[in-house]
Chain A
Amino acid sequence: MQQLDIPKKKPSFMRTIAAAPHIVWAVMFIVLPLIVVVWYAFTDAEGHVSFENIAGLSDYADTFLLSLELSVIATFVCLLIGYPLAYMMARAPKHRQKFLVMLLMLPMWTNLLIRTYSIMAILDDGGFLNTLLGTDLHIIGTKGAVIFGMVYDFLPYMVLPIYTCISKIDRHMWEAAEDLGCTPFQVIRKVILPLSTSGVVSGVTMVLVPSISTFYISQKLGGGTFELIGDTIERQFVSGALNTGAAISFIMMLLILLSLAIMNRFTDADEGGVIV
Protein backbone atom coordinates (compact mmCIF):
# COMPACT_ATOMS: atom_id res chain seq x y z
CA MET A 1 0.00 0.00 0.00
CA GLN A 2 2.54 2.59 0.98
CA GLN A 3 5.76 3.33 -0.80
CA LEU A 4 8.93 3.02 1.17
CA ASP A 5 11.89 5.15 0.52
CA ILE A 6 14.79 3.01 1.54
CA PRO A 7 18.35 3.90 0.60
CA LYS A 8 20.38 1.09 -0.94
CA LYS A 9 23.23 1.18 1.55
CA LYS A 10 24.54 -1.56 3.73
CA PRO A 11 22.11 -1.71 6.63
CA SER A 12 23.50 -1.00 10.07
CA PHE A 13 22.82 -4.02 12.19
CA MET A 14 22.28 -2.16 15.47
CA ARG A 15 19.36 -0.21 14.01
CA THR A 16 17.81 -3.03 12.06
CA ILE A 17 17.46 -4.99 15.28
CA ALA A 18 14.85 -2.43 16.41
CA ALA A 19 12.44 -4.24 14.13
CA ALA A 20 13.04 -7.54 15.91
CA PRO A 21 10.10 -7.32 18.37
CA HIS A 22 7.82 -6.45 15.51
CA ILE A 23 9.10 -9.32 13.37
CA VAL A 24 8.59 -11.77 16.23
CA TRP A 25 5.10 -10.34 16.84
CA ALA A 26 4.17 -10.50 13.17
CA VAL A 27 5.32 -14.10 12.87
CA MET A 28 3.57 -15.21 16.04
CA PHE A 29 0.30 -13.33 15.71
CA ILE A 30 -0.17 -12.72 12.00
CA VAL A 31 1.57 -15.53 10.13
CA LEU A 32 0.98 -18.29 12.66
CA PRO A 33 -2.81 -17.70 12.96
CA LEU A 34 -3.08 -17.87 9.17
CA ILE A 35 -1.21 -21.18 9.19
CA VAL A 36 -3.56 -22.41 11.92
CA VAL A 37 -6.57 -21.41 9.79
CA VAL A 38 -5.20 -23.37 6.82
CA TRP A 39 -4.49 -26.30 9.11
CA TYR A 40 -8.03 -26.26 10.52
CA ALA A 41 -9.48 -25.90 7.04
CA PHE A 42 -7.75 -29.05 5.85
CA THR A 43 -8.33 -31.27 8.87
CA ASP A 44 -11.42 -32.80 10.46
CA ALA A 45 -12.52 -32.49 14.09
CA GLU A 46 -10.14 -35.29 15.16
CA GLY A 47 -7.17 -33.60 13.53
CA HIS A 48 -6.82 -35.94 10.54
CA VAL A 49 -6.09 -34.44 7.16
CA SER A 50 -9.27 -34.17 5.15
CA PHE A 51 -10.59 -32.23 2.21
CA GLU A 52 -14.18 -32.57 3.31
CA ASN A 53 -14.41 -29.02 4.66
CA ILE A 54 -13.27 -27.51 1.40
CA ALA A 55 -15.37 -29.91 -0.66
CA GLY A 56 -18.40 -29.14 1.52
CA LEU A 57 -18.13 -25.46 0.74
CA SER A 58 -20.23 -25.83 -2.39
CA ASP A 59 -23.23 -25.87 0.01
CA TYR A 60 -22.45 -22.28 0.84
CA ALA A 61 -22.08 -21.06 -2.75
CA ASP A 62 -25.54 -19.47 -2.71
CA THR A 63 -24.86 -17.70 0.57
CA PHE A 64 -21.61 -16.40 -0.80
CA LEU A 65 -23.21 -15.17 -4.00
CA LEU A 66 -25.95 -13.42 -2.01
CA SER A 67 -23.32 -11.67 0.13
CA LEU A 68 -21.45 -10.67 -2.98
CA GLU A 69 -24.62 -9.35 -4.60
CA LEU A 70 -25.73 -7.27 -1.62
CA SER A 71 -22.29 -5.88 -0.87
CA VAL A 72 -21.57 -4.99 -4.50
CA ILE A 73 -24.90 -3.16 -4.74
CA ALA A 74 -24.21 -1.39 -1.44
CA THR A 75 -20.72 -0.38 -2.58
CA PHE A 76 -22.08 0.93 -5.85
CA VAL A 77 -24.78 2.95 -4.10
CA CYS A 78 -22.16 4.33 -1.69
CA LEU A 79 -20.03 5.41 -4.64
CA LEU A 80 -23.00 6.96 -6.40
CA ILE A 81 -24.06 8.94 -3.32
CA GLY A 82 -20.61 9.47 -1.86
CA TYR A 83 -18.70 10.80 -4.85
CA PRO A 84 -20.88 13.91 -5.36
CA LEU A 85 -20.84 14.50 -1.62
CA ALA A 86 -17.04 14.26 -1.48
CA TYR A 87 -16.79 16.58 -4.47
CA MET A 88 -19.10 19.17 -2.91
CA MET A 89 -17.22 18.98 0.37
CA ALA A 90 -13.91 19.53 -1.40
CA ARG A 91 -15.30 22.57 -3.23
CA ALA A 92 -16.83 24.13 -0.13
CA PRO A 93 -15.07 27.15 1.42
CA LYS A 94 -11.99 26.14 3.45
CA HIS A 95 -13.40 27.11 6.85
CA ARG A 96 -16.55 25.07 6.26
CA GLN A 97 -14.64 21.99 5.09
CA LYS A 98 -13.29 21.29 8.55
CA PHE A 99 -16.78 21.36 9.97
CA LEU A 100 -18.10 19.07 7.24
CA VAL A 101 -15.28 16.57 7.80
CA MET A 102 -16.11 16.56 11.49
CA LEU A 103 -19.76 15.99 10.68
CA LEU A 104 -18.69 12.97 8.66
CA MET A 105 -16.30 11.67 11.30
CA LEU A 106 -18.84 11.56 14.12
CA PRO A 107 -20.91 8.71 12.66
CA MET A 108 -17.66 7.05 11.59
CA TRP A 109 -16.34 6.92 15.14
CA THR A 110 -19.69 5.87 16.57
CA ASN A 111 -19.72 2.13 17.06
CA LEU A 112 -21.12 0.11 14.19
CA LEU A 113 -23.44 -1.77 16.53
CA ILE A 114 -25.03 1.46 17.71
CA ARG A 115 -25.52 2.78 14.20
CA THR A 116 -27.02 -0.45 12.92
CA TYR A 117 -29.25 -0.76 15.95
CA SER A 118 -30.49 2.79 15.60
CA ILE A 119 -31.71 2.22 12.04
CA MET A 120 -33.27 -1.06 13.06
CA ALA A 121 -35.29 0.73 15.74
CA ILE A 122 -36.50 3.21 13.13
CA LEU A 123 -37.38 0.75 10.37
CA ASP A 124 -38.85 -1.93 12.62
CA ASP A 125 -42.46 -3.09 12.14
CA GLY A 126 -43.73 -1.26 15.19
CA GLY A 127 -40.86 1.19 14.98
CA PHE A 128 -40.47 4.92 14.84
CA LEU A 129 -41.07 5.31 11.10
CA ASN A 130 -44.27 3.29 11.05
CA THR A 131 -45.59 5.05 14.13
CA LEU A 132 -44.75 8.43 12.69
CA LEU A 133 -46.40 7.74 9.36
CA GLY A 134 -49.18 5.65 10.84
CA THR A 135 -48.40 2.93 8.32
CA ASP A 136 -47.72 -0.77 8.53
CA LEU A 137 -44.69 -1.08 6.27
CA HIS A 138 -42.66 -4.23 6.54
CA ILE A 139 -39.06 -3.25 5.90
CA ILE A 140 -36.89 -5.35 8.20
CA GLY A 141 -36.10 -8.69 6.62
CA THR A 142 -35.92 -7.42 3.07
CA LYS A 143 -32.78 -7.22 0.95
CA GLY A 144 -33.36 -3.51 0.70
CA ALA A 145 -33.09 -3.10 4.47
CA VAL A 146 -29.74 -4.90 4.58
CA ILE A 147 -28.39 -2.88 1.66
CA PHE A 148 -29.61 0.31 3.31
CA GLY A 149 -27.84 -0.73 6.50
CA MET A 150 -24.57 -1.33 4.66
CA VAL A 151 -24.81 1.99 2.83
CA TYR A 152 -25.69 3.85 6.01
CA ASP A 153 -22.91 2.25 8.05
CA PHE A 154 -20.11 2.49 5.52
CA LEU A 155 -20.87 5.66 3.52
CA PRO A 156 -18.35 7.77 5.48
CA TYR A 157 -15.62 5.27 4.57
CA MET A 158 -16.35 5.94 0.92
CA VAL A 159 -16.59 9.72 1.19
CA LEU A 160 -13.49 10.40 3.27
CA PRO A 161 -10.78 8.92 0.99
CA ILE A 162 -12.39 10.46 -2.10
CA TYR A 163 -12.67 13.82 -0.36
CA THR A 164 -9.00 13.65 0.70
CA CYS A 165 -8.02 12.85 -2.85
CA ILE A 166 -10.08 15.59 -4.51
CA SER A 167 -9.07 18.25 -2.01
CA LYS A 168 -5.41 17.51 -2.78
CA ILE A 169 -5.91 18.28 -6.48
CA ASP A 170 -4.29 21.58 -7.31
CA ARG A 171 -6.95 24.23 -7.87
CA HIS A 172 -4.96 25.53 -10.82
CA MET A 173 -5.72 22.28 -12.62
CA TRP A 174 -9.42 22.85 -12.90
CA GLU A 175 -8.95 26.56 -13.49
CA ALA A 176 -6.66 25.71 -16.38
CA ALA A 177 -9.19 23.24 -17.76
CA GLU A 178 -11.91 25.89 -17.51
CA ASP A 179 -9.70 28.47 -19.22
CA LEU A 180 -9.07 26.05 -22.04
CA GLY A 181 -12.79 25.77 -22.67
CA CYS A 182 -14.02 22.81 -20.62
CA THR A 183 -17.58 22.93 -19.36
CA PRO A 184 -17.93 22.22 -15.62
CA PHE A 185 -19.05 18.72 -16.47
CA GLN A 186 -16.01 18.16 -18.68
CA VAL A 187 -13.75 19.41 -15.90
CA ILE A 188 -15.12 16.72 -13.64
CA ARG A 189 -14.90 14.00 -16.25
CA LYS A 190 -11.48 14.84 -17.68
CA VAL A 191 -9.61 16.26 -14.69
CA ILE A 192 -11.17 15.48 -11.33
CA LEU A 193 -12.32 11.93 -12.01
CA PRO A 194 -9.00 10.58 -13.34
CA LEU A 195 -7.05 12.29 -10.54
CA SER A 196 -9.25 10.83 -7.84
CA THR A 197 -9.10 7.19 -8.95
CA SER A 198 -6.91 6.18 -6.01
CA GLY A 199 -9.46 7.67 -3.61
CA VAL A 200 -12.25 5.77 -5.33
CA VAL A 201 -10.28 2.51 -5.18
CA SER A 202 -9.57 2.82 -1.47
CA GLY A 203 -13.15 3.92 -0.82
CA VAL A 204 -14.50 0.92 -2.69
CA THR A 205 -12.21 -1.43 -0.74
CA MET A 206 -13.14 0.11 2.56
CA VAL A 207 -16.85 -0.37 1.87
CA LEU A 208 -16.75 -3.70 0.05
CA VAL A 209 -14.60 -5.66 2.52
CA PRO A 210 -16.61 -4.92 5.67
CA SER A 211 -19.97 -5.25 3.93
CA ILE A 212 -19.18 -8.61 2.31
CA SER A 213 -18.08 -10.02 5.67
CA THR A 214 -20.68 -8.40 7.94
CA PHE A 215 -22.85 -10.46 10.21
CA TYR A 216 -24.32 -7.89 12.57
CA ILE A 217 -26.10 -5.89 9.87
CA SER A 218 -27.75 -8.95 8.37
CA GLN A 219 -28.64 -10.26 11.83
CA LYS A 220 -30.40 -7.07 12.84
CA LEU A 221 -31.80 -5.80 9.54
CA GLY A 222 -32.23 -9.16 7.80
CA GLY A 223 -34.63 -10.16 10.56
CA GLY A 224 -33.28 -13.72 10.47
CA THR A 225 -34.77 -14.33 7.04
CA PHE A 226 -31.48 -14.64 5.25
CA GLU A 227 -27.95 -15.54 5.98
CA LEU A 228 -24.84 -13.89 4.60
CA ILE A 229 -21.42 -15.48 4.54
CA GLY A 230 -20.42 -13.61 7.70
CA ASP A 231 -23.43 -15.09 9.50
CA THR A 232 -22.35 -18.53 8.35
CA ILE A 233 -18.88 -18.09 9.82
CA GLU A 234 -20.33 -16.68 13.03
CA ARG A 235 -22.80 -19.56 13.30
CA GLN A 236 -20.02 -22.12 12.85
CA PHE A 237 -18.03 -20.31 15.51
CA VAL A 238 -20.92 -20.27 18.00
CA SER A 239 -21.81 -23.91 17.37
CA GLY A 240 -18.17 -24.96 17.61
CA ALA A 241 -17.84 -26.27 14.04
CA LEU A 242 -14.46 -24.60 13.79
CA ASN A 243 -13.17 -26.60 10.83
CA THR A 244 -15.95 -25.51 8.49
CA GLY A 245 -15.69 -21.96 9.79
CA ALA A 246 -11.95 -22.00 9.14
CA ALA A 247 -12.48 -23.34 5.62
CA ILE A 248 -14.95 -20.56 4.76
CA SER A 249 -12.66 -17.93 6.31
CA PHE A 250 -9.72 -19.30 4.35
CA ILE A 251 -11.52 -19.12 1.00
CA MET A 252 -12.89 -15.67 1.78
CA MET A 253 -9.43 -14.43 2.71
CA LEU A 254 -7.93 -15.82 -0.51
CA LEU A 255 -10.61 -14.15 -2.64
CA ILE A 256 -10.34 -10.81 -0.90
CA LEU A 257 -6.54 -10.63 -0.80
CA LEU A 258 -6.44 -11.65 -4.44
CA SER A 259 -8.88 -8.98 -5.55
CA LEU A 260 -7.08 -6.37 -3.44
CA ALA A 261 -3.80 -7.34 -5.09
CA ILE A 262 -5.39 -6.95 -8.51
CA MET A 263 -6.89 -3.58 -7.56
CA ASN A 264 -3.55 -2.35 -6.23
CA ARG A 265 -1.95 -3.20 -9.58
CA PHE A 266 -4.13 -0.55 -11.18
CA THR A 267 -3.21 2.16 -8.73
CA ASP A 268 0.36 1.19 -7.99
CA ALA A 269 1.83 4.46 -9.14
CA ASP A 270 0.41 6.78 -6.48
CA GLU A 271 0.55 6.63 -2.74
CA GLY A 272 -2.65 8.64 -2.16
CA GLY A 273 -5.97 7.50 -0.85
CA VAL A 274 -4.80 6.36 2.55
CA ILE A 275 -7.32 7.51 5.11
CA VAL A 276 -6.86 9.86 8.04
Chain B
Amino acid sequence: MKKHLSRIYMCLIFGILYIPILTLILFSFNATNSTAVFTGFSFRWYAELFASPDTFLALSNTLILAICSATLSTVIGTAACEGIYRMRRLPAKLLNSVTNIPMMNPDIVTGMSMMLCFVAFVGVLQIDYEQFGFFAMLIAHTTFCLPYVILSVMPRRNELGKTYSEAAMDLGCTPLQSFFKVELPNLMPGILSGFVMAFTLSLDDFVISYFVGSSSFQTLPLLIYSMTKKKVKPDMYALSTLIIVTVFLLLLLSNIRSSKKLRKGGGRS
Protein backbone atom coordinates (compact mmCIF):
# COMPACT_ATOMS: atom_id res chain seq x y z
CA MET B 1 0.00 0.00 0.00
CA LYS B 2 2.71 2.46 1.08
CA LYS B 3 4.80 1.41 -1.85
CA HIS B 4 1.97 2.16 -4.25
CA LEU B 5 1.40 5.55 -2.71
CA SER B 6 5.01 6.57 -3.11
CA ARG B 7 5.06 5.25 -6.65
CA ILE B 8 1.98 7.30 -7.53
CA TYR B 9 3.53 10.39 -5.96
CA MET B 10 6.78 9.99 -7.89
CA CYS B 11 4.91 9.42 -11.15
CA LEU B 12 2.83 12.53 -10.52
CA ILE B 13 5.80 14.83 -9.82
CA PHE B 14 7.96 13.47 -12.63
CA GLY B 15 4.90 13.64 -14.88
CA ILE B 16 4.49 17.35 -14.15
CA LEU B 17 8.23 17.86 -14.69
CA TYR B 18 8.17 16.16 -18.06
CA ILE B 19 4.83 17.16 -19.61
CA PRO B 20 5.99 20.64 -20.69
CA ILE B 21 9.21 19.24 -22.15
CA LEU B 22 7.32 16.53 -24.03
CA THR B 23 4.73 18.94 -25.44
CA LEU B 24 7.56 21.15 -26.60
CA ILE B 25 9.13 18.22 -28.42
CA LEU B 26 5.75 17.25 -29.89
CA PHE B 27 5.01 20.70 -31.28
CA SER B 28 8.45 21.04 -32.80
CA PHE B 29 7.17 18.52 -35.34
CA ASN B 30 3.96 20.43 -36.01
CA ALA B 31 3.13 21.24 -39.62
CA THR B 32 1.73 24.71 -38.85
CA ASN B 33 3.12 27.37 -36.58
CA SER B 34 0.52 26.71 -33.89
CA THR B 35 1.85 25.62 -30.51
CA ALA B 36 -1.58 24.60 -29.27
CA VAL B 37 -3.15 22.45 -31.98
CA PHE B 38 -1.26 19.61 -33.59
CA THR B 39 -2.18 19.59 -37.25
CA GLY B 40 0.28 17.20 -38.79
CA PHE B 41 3.78 15.83 -38.66
CA SER B 42 6.57 17.64 -40.46
CA PHE B 43 10.25 18.53 -40.24
CA ARG B 44 9.49 22.01 -41.51
CA TRP B 45 10.82 23.86 -38.43
CA TYR B 46 14.00 21.82 -38.36
CA ALA B 47 14.59 22.64 -42.00
CA GLU B 48 14.02 26.31 -41.26
CA LEU B 49 16.35 26.12 -38.28
CA PHE B 50 19.15 24.53 -40.28
CA ALA B 51 18.68 27.03 -43.07
CA SER B 52 19.48 29.89 -40.74
CA PRO B 53 23.19 30.73 -40.40
CA ASP B 54 22.55 32.20 -36.93
CA THR B 55 21.99 28.74 -35.49
CA PHE B 56 25.36 27.37 -36.48
CA LEU B 57 27.20 30.52 -35.55
CA ALA B 58 25.60 30.50 -32.09
CA LEU B 59 26.31 26.80 -31.70
CA SER B 60 29.98 27.13 -32.59
CA ASN B 61 30.30 30.24 -30.41
CA THR B 62 28.78 28.39 -27.46
CA LEU B 63 31.08 25.40 -27.88
CA ILE B 64 34.22 27.48 -28.35
CA LEU B 65 33.37 29.57 -25.32
CA ALA B 66 32.57 26.52 -23.18
CA ILE B 67 35.79 24.72 -24.13
CA CYS B 68 37.96 27.80 -23.58
CA SER B 69 36.41 28.83 -20.28
CA ALA B 70 36.32 25.28 -18.93
CA THR B 71 39.99 24.77 -19.84
CA LEU B 72 41.08 28.10 -18.40
CA SER B 73 39.14 27.66 -15.17
CA THR B 74 40.37 24.08 -14.77
CA VAL B 75 44.02 25.10 -15.19
CA ILE B 76 43.78 28.09 -12.87
CA GLY B 77 41.61 26.21 -10.38
CA THR B 78 43.84 23.14 -10.18
CA ALA B 79 46.95 25.26 -9.67
CA ALA B 80 45.04 27.24 -7.06
CA CYS B 81 44.17 24.06 -5.13
CA GLU B 82 47.86 23.21 -4.89
CA GLY B 83 48.59 26.72 -3.64
CA ILE B 84 45.67 26.86 -1.23
CA TYR B 85 46.68 23.51 0.19
CA ARG B 86 50.09 24.91 1.14
CA MET B 87 48.75 28.18 2.47
CA ARG B 88 48.23 29.06 6.07
CA ARG B 89 44.72 28.57 7.35
CA LEU B 90 43.62 32.19 7.46
CA PRO B 91 44.64 33.36 3.97
CA ALA B 92 43.29 30.11 2.55
CA LYS B 93 39.93 30.69 4.19
CA LEU B 94 39.83 34.27 2.98
CA LEU B 95 40.70 33.30 -0.58
CA ASN B 96 38.05 30.61 -0.55
CA SER B 97 35.36 32.98 0.64
CA VAL B 98 36.23 35.41 -2.15
CA THR B 99 36.21 32.62 -4.75
CA ASN B 100 32.80 31.47 -3.62
CA ILE B 101 31.18 34.89 -4.02
CA PRO B 102 30.03 34.30 -7.64
CA MET B 103 28.56 30.96 -6.56
CA MET B 104 26.50 32.50 -3.75
CA ASN B 105 25.55 35.75 -5.44
CA PRO B 106 22.49 35.81 -7.68
CA ASP B 107 23.56 35.58 -11.33
CA ILE B 108 21.99 38.91 -12.07
CA VAL B 109 24.26 40.66 -9.55
CA THR B 110 27.37 38.89 -10.85
CA GLY B 111 26.39 39.78 -14.40
CA MET B 112 25.69 43.38 -13.54
CA SER B 113 28.94 43.82 -11.59
CA MET B 114 31.10 42.27 -14.30
CA MET B 115 29.42 44.32 -16.99
CA LEU B 116 30.06 47.54 -15.09
CA CYS B 117 33.65 46.50 -14.53
CA PHE B 118 34.17 45.74 -18.23
CA VAL B 119 32.64 49.04 -19.23
CA ALA B 120 35.20 50.70 -16.97
CA PHE B 121 38.05 48.60 -18.45
CA VAL B 122 36.99 49.41 -21.97
CA GLY B 123 36.80 53.07 -21.07
CA VAL B 124 40.34 53.04 -19.67
CA LEU B 125 41.82 51.00 -22.53
CA GLN B 126 39.96 53.00 -25.19
CA ILE B 127 38.68 49.95 -27.09
CA ASP B 128 35.34 49.09 -28.57
CA TYR B 129 33.14 46.91 -26.34
CA GLU B 130 31.87 45.05 -29.42
CA GLN B 131 35.37 43.81 -30.21
CA PHE B 132 35.86 42.86 -26.60
CA GLY B 133 32.75 40.61 -26.80
CA PHE B 134 34.38 37.20 -26.75
CA PHE B 135 36.92 38.11 -24.07
CA ALA B 136 34.27 39.63 -21.83
CA MET B 137 32.30 36.38 -22.04
CA LEU B 138 35.42 34.27 -21.54
CA ILE B 139 36.43 36.19 -18.42
CA ALA B 140 32.90 36.08 -16.99
CA HIS B 141 32.41 32.37 -17.64
CA THR B 142 35.83 31.45 -16.28
CA THR B 143 35.09 33.45 -13.13
CA PHE B 144 31.82 31.74 -12.32
CA CYS B 145 33.23 28.30 -13.18
CA LEU B 146 36.29 28.64 -10.93
CA PRO B 147 34.58 27.93 -7.58
CA TYR B 148 33.06 24.72 -8.98
CA VAL B 149 36.43 23.51 -10.26
CA ILE B 150 38.06 24.21 -6.89
CA LEU B 151 35.14 22.54 -5.14
CA SER B 152 35.72 19.32 -7.04
CA VAL B 153 39.54 19.29 -6.94
CA MET B 154 40.15 20.52 -3.38
CA PRO B 155 38.73 17.47 -1.52
CA ARG B 156 41.00 15.19 -3.58
CA ARG B 157 43.99 17.42 -2.87
CA ASN B 158 43.28 17.26 0.85
CA GLU B 159 42.83 13.51 0.69
CA LEU B 160 46.15 13.04 -1.12
CA GLY B 161 48.14 14.76 1.61
CA LYS B 162 51.76 15.72 1.15
CA THR B 163 53.57 12.46 1.88
CA TYR B 164 53.68 11.34 -1.76
CA SER B 165 55.10 14.55 -3.09
CA GLU B 166 57.64 14.63 -0.24
CA ALA B 167 58.66 11.09 -1.11
CA ALA B 168 59.02 12.05 -4.77
CA MET B 169 61.19 15.01 -3.86
CA ASP B 170 63.31 12.90 -1.52
CA LEU B 171 63.93 10.65 -4.49
CA GLY B 172 65.21 13.61 -6.48
CA CYS B 173 62.21 15.18 -8.17
CA THR B 174 62.03 18.93 -8.41
CA PRO B 175 58.79 20.36 -6.98
CA LEU B 176 57.49 20.85 -10.51
CA GLN B 177 58.34 17.28 -11.54
CA SER B 178 56.67 15.88 -8.46
CA PHE B 179 53.56 17.91 -9.23
CA PHE B 180 53.26 16.53 -12.74
CA LYS B 181 54.32 12.97 -11.91
CA VAL B 182 52.67 12.43 -8.55
CA GLU B 183 49.94 14.93 -7.78
CA LEU B 184 48.41 15.52 -11.18
CA PRO B 185 47.64 11.85 -11.97
CA ASN B 186 46.11 11.45 -8.53
CA LEU B 187 43.99 14.55 -8.86
CA MET B 188 42.80 13.61 -12.35
CA PRO B 189 39.29 12.35 -11.45
CA GLY B 190 38.57 15.57 -9.55
CA ILE B 191 40.04 17.70 -12.33
CA LEU B 192 37.96 15.90 -14.96
CA SER B 193 34.71 16.26 -13.06
CA GLY B 194 35.54 19.92 -12.46
CA PHE B 195 36.12 20.39 -16.18
CA VAL B 196 32.83 18.73 -17.11
CA MET B 197 31.01 20.80 -14.51
CA ALA B 198 32.55 24.02 -15.82
CA PHE B 199 31.78 23.04 -19.40
CA THR B 200 28.09 22.39 -18.72
CA LEU B 201 27.72 25.52 -16.60
CA SER B 202 29.17 27.59 -19.40
CA LEU B 203 26.91 25.96 -22.01
CA ASP B 204 23.86 26.59 -19.89
CA ASP B 205 24.46 30.13 -18.71
CA PHE B 206 22.06 32.79 -19.83
CA VAL B 207 21.82 35.54 -17.22
CA ILE B 208 25.51 36.45 -16.91
CA SER B 209 26.04 36.19 -20.69
CA TYR B 210 23.03 38.41 -21.21
CA PHE B 211 24.53 41.18 -19.10
CA VAL B 212 28.15 40.80 -20.16
CA GLY B 213 27.74 39.87 -23.81
CA SER B 214 27.45 42.11 -26.81
CA SER B 215 25.76 41.59 -30.14
CA SER B 216 29.04 40.56 -31.77
CA PHE B 217 29.19 37.28 -29.87
CA GLN B 218 25.93 35.37 -29.59
CA THR B 219 25.59 32.05 -27.80
CA LEU B 220 22.74 29.54 -27.93
CA PRO B 221 20.98 30.69 -24.74
CA LEU B 222 21.14 34.27 -26.02
CA LEU B 223 19.76 33.13 -29.37
CA ILE B 224 16.90 31.35 -27.62
CA TYR B 225 16.20 34.48 -25.61
CA SER B 226 15.99 36.62 -28.72
CA MET B 227 13.78 33.97 -30.36
CA THR B 228 11.32 34.02 -27.45
CA LYS B 229 11.12 37.82 -27.60
CA LYS B 230 9.38 37.58 -30.95
CA LYS B 231 5.99 36.03 -31.62
CA VAL B 232 5.94 32.31 -30.96
CA LYS B 233 7.48 30.32 -33.75
CA PRO B 234 8.19 26.61 -33.46
CA ASP B 235 11.75 26.96 -34.81
CA MET B 236 12.69 27.72 -31.21
CA TYR B 237 10.93 24.48 -30.26
CA ALA B 238 13.03 22.63 -32.79
CA LEU B 239 16.23 24.11 -31.39
CA SER B 240 15.16 23.28 -27.84
CA THR B 241 14.29 19.73 -28.81
CA LEU B 242 17.75 19.25 -30.27
CA ILE B 243 19.35 20.63 -27.10
CA ILE B 244 17.20 18.42 -24.83
CA VAL B 245 17.99 15.31 -26.87
CA THR B 246 21.72 16.11 -26.71
CA VAL B 247 21.57 16.59 -22.93
CA PHE B 248 19.66 13.33 -22.62
CA LEU B 249 22.22 11.40 -24.67
CA LEU B 250 25.13 12.85 -22.69
CA LEU B 251 23.45 11.95 -19.41
CA LEU B 252 22.74 8.45 -20.65
CA LEU B 253 26.33 8.04 -21.79
CA SER B 254 27.82 9.17 -18.49
CA ASN B 255 25.37 6.94 -16.63
CA ILE B 256 26.29 3.88 -18.66
CA ARG B 257 29.98 4.62 -18.21
CA SER B 258 29.74 5.02 -14.45
CA SER B 259 27.61 1.90 -14.03
CA LYS B 260 30.15 -0.04 -16.07
CA LYS B 261 32.85 1.23 -13.74
CA LEU B 262 30.74 0.13 -10.78
CA ARG B 263 30.43 -3.37 -12.17
CA LYS B 264 34.17 -3.58 -12.67
CA GLY B 265 34.48 -2.91 -8.95
CA GLY B 266 36.34 0.35 -9.36
CA GLY B 267 33.59 2.24 -7.57
CA ARG B 268 32.76 5.82 -8.32
CA SER B 269 33.89 8.89 -6.55
Binding site for B on A (CB under 8 A): 1-2, 4-8, 11-12, 14-23, 25-26, 29-34, 36-37, 40, 81, 84-85, 88-89, 91, 98, 100, 102-107, 109-115, 117-119, 121-122, 124, 126-128, 130-131, 152, 155-156, 209-210, 212-213, 215-216, 220, 230, 233-234, 237, 242, 245-246, 249, 252-253, 256-257, 260, 274, 276
Contacts and interface: CB of A to CB of B under 8 A. Distances in A.
A11 B24 contact: no
A152 B20 contact: yes
Task: State the main secondary structure of chain A at its contact with B.
Answer: helix
Interface string B234-269: 001000100110011001100100010000000000
B69 interface: no
Nearest to A88: B6
A232 to B, nearest CB: 10
Contacts of A106: 21, 244, 247-248, 251
A29 B84 contact: no
A227 B194 CA distance: 37
A98 B243 contact: no
A187 to B, nearest CB: 13
Contacts, number: 245
A160 B230 CA distance: 34
Nearest to B104: A260
B17 A109 contact: no
A17 B83 contact: yes
Given A213-B108, A213-B109, A237 B115 contact: yes
Given A8-B89, A29-B143, A111-B243, A105 B117 contact: no
A30 B143 contact: yes
A23 B150 CA distance: 13
Contacts of A19: 79-80, 82-84, 87, 95
A255 B88 CA distance: 30
A114 B16 CA distance: 15
A102 B255 contact: yes
A15 B175 contact: yes
A88 B10 contact: yes
Given A12-B86, A15-B86, A114 B224 contact: yes
Contact of A246 (B99, B116, B225): B116
B106 A212 contact: yes
B108 A114 contact: no
B96 A34 contact: no
A137 B119 CA distance: 46
Contacts of A252: 106, 109
Contacts of B96: 2, 4
A58 B22 CA distance: 43
20 contacts: A4-B93, A6-B87, A6-B88, A19-B80, A19-B83, A19-B84, A19-B87, A26-B98, A29-B117, A85-B10, A91-B6, A98-B255, A109-B200, A113-B206, A114-B24, A118-B23, A121-B27, A130-B36, A209-B106, A210-B107
Contacts of B79: 18-19, 21-22
B191 interface: no
A4 B101 contact: no
B19 interface: yes
A30 B82 contact: no
Interface string B213-245: 000000011001100100010001000100110
Contacts of A114: 24, 224, 240, 243-244
B106 A4 contact: no
Contacts of A127: 35-36
Contact of A20 (B83, B109, B120): B83
Given A4-B96, A106-B251, A109-B200, A213 B221 contact: no
